[in-house]
Each structure stands twice: as structure tokens, then as C-alpha cells.
Amino acid sequence: MLESLALVFQPLATKQFDLLLVIYLIAITTEAMSGALAAGRRNMDIFGVAVIAFVTALGGGTIRDVVLGNYPIGWTQHPEYVYLVVLAGLATILLARFMHHMKSIFLMLDAMGLVAFSLIGCNVALQLEYPVVVIIMAGMITGICGGILRDVLCNQLPVIFCRELYASVSLFVCILFLAMRSLGVDADLNTLLCFVLGFGFRMLALRFSWKLPTFSYQQRWD
């Protein structure tokens, strides 16, 4: 299966991405399960659970590819992605009663997925030779848009806009990756450092509840 996954990242599928490929599998599985849990909180049927799981796991990469004109979209060429995320979502229905015991593990896997998605998004845009700002946006879209779609479809304010630093972590990873690349840092070392620092940043944000300043406006115009 990893061999077929590597095709998606060609010509990116070099040694430095072996770890990211494994984390990618873990990440889309975890995101699918988080989507299924969100669907369950809204009392959706089995079809709804499967759809939300799919959108949460693969929505970010799909939006990125559409925006960048990167066709064909990865999961259309690799149906094993669809099988994996849908099965993960449906399995969550059976495992939901035990999920509260795994919260800390889920948060760690989600942090790993955020960083991996962000790095993958950056590299896709790099290979297409887009400007720096577009590369950063591509990384962030890949990292956060699946969660945004999940929350919008579940009729709630996207959590990344009102809780601990999340999108900011993706932005940090993307900028750090491009900065070290411009300084000529070895690609393997660059990927490793970005992953470790991005993961650490996200976990610290969770541990200490770091947030950006909020804006509240209640005044009426009439």
C-alpha cells in the first residue's frame, strides 16, 4: 500500500518522505474518526457519518489540488484512501464508547497530522513552482480545511477559529520549512526539524491553552 501512496507524491517520494507517508496514513485515519465523532454529536445516520469522515480526512488535500490546478486529485487515483477513511469513520460508531479514554492519543495524532499535511501541501505547491505566499497557503489549506469543512457541515463554528492555536501552527511550520530551505538546510533535516518543532508547538499550545487575541463585537447598528 505504501508503494501506491508514494505515487501521489512523485517526484516527492524520496527517502525524506517515508515518515510523512506513514504519518499521512495515520493522520487521515484519525481525522476520519474525528469527523465521525462530530457527526455522531449531530445524530447523523450512517451515511452522514461516512460523508463527514471522508470530507474531514481528504477535504483539505482536495481543496488544495483544486485551487492549485493539480490534477488528477490524489484520492481519485487511489481508492484505497476512500476505503480507509470511510471504514475508519464507520468503525468509530462501534468504538465511540471507548473514545474518551483515548483523548490524549487523539490530540497527539491530530498534531502529527496537522504538521504532516502542512508539509505535504507546501511540497505539492513547490513542485508546481508557485510563489512563496501560495506555497504557504497551500500548506495551510491542506492542514486545516478538512476540519473547517467538518465543522461547517455539522453546523458549528470551526474550532480552529476560537480555540488553542491550530492554524497558527500550520503557518509556523510552512514558514519555517521555506525559511530553512532558502538557507540550504538539508531536505531530510529540514523535514525532521519542522515536524518536531511544529508538533512541539501544537502540544505546548494545548498544554497551556495558548490562543490568539479574540474580537468580540456586540453593538447594534439600528
Per-residue model confidence as pLDDT tens digits over 141-170 = 999 999 999 999 999 888 888 877 899 999
pLDDT-wise least confident of 77-81, 149-153, 196-200:
77-81
pTM: 0.86
In residues, how long is the chain?
Answer: 222
Average pLDDT over residues 119-124: 93
Give the Cα separation of 25 and 31 in Å (integer): 10
Give the Cα separation of 169 and 47 in Å (integer): 32
Helix, strand, or coil (residue 159): helix
**What pLDDT was estimated at residue 173?**
97
Return the HEC string of 123-155: HHHHHCCCCHHHHHHHHHHHHHHHHHHHHHHCC
